[in-house]
Each structure stands twice: as C-alpha cells, then as structure tokens.
Amino acid sequence: MQLKIQIYYYTDETRKFDDLNIDYKISDCEKRWMTFLNINAIGKYVDTDKNEYGKIFCNGEQFITCVSYEKLIKFIDRMELISDIRTLHE
C-alpha cells in the first residue's frame, strides 16, 4: 500500500542551523510530499514549543509529518481499511 504524506524536509539550510547550534522550529522547515511504500513504526515528535507532530520510522530513517500523531494514525487506519475493502472485492 502506498501512502502519500506531507513531511518537513531537512534541507541544507536546516543542516547549517544545526552546525551553528542555532535553534529553529521544525515548522520552519520546507514541506514536501513523500510517498511511503513501507512504514516500520510511527510515534510522536514534540518540539520545544510543545507542538506535536507525527514521526514516521522507515528503513532506518525518521520523518516528521505536518500533522499530529493522532491525525496520522487515523489516516493510516483509514487507508488500511480502504485497502482491505478493495482486496475483499477483487
């Protein structure tokens, strides 16, 4: 199953902030759409301002989503249900 999810992308500019120990908000990062073919796990990411986002673990990488953990899990559950229904009707 493919899932298209918007994530915050870690850019070269973000990397420079890290290298200089300059604080930045994850929401200041560039947003990009990504298609996931495999998700190993999901979790919560909470920034320094206590804003909550979803975190996707995939093949040793971590991705911060533009939505909360709760919205992310509901989306994945809904997509799995739709996939199961399609499979039942094939």
Confidence at residue 23, expressed as pLDDT on a 0 to 100 scale? 80
pLDDT above 80 for 74: yes
Number of domains comprising the chain: 1
pLDDT above 50 for 12: yes
Confidence at residue 33, expressed as pLDDT on a 0 to 100 scale? 95
More confident call, 68 vs 18: 68
* Span 35-51, pLDDT tens digits: 999 899 999 999 888 99
Nearest to 53 by CA among 43, 38, 61: 43
**What is the rounded average pLDDT for all residues in the chain?**
85
Determine the structural domain holding residue 42 and report its residue range: 3-89
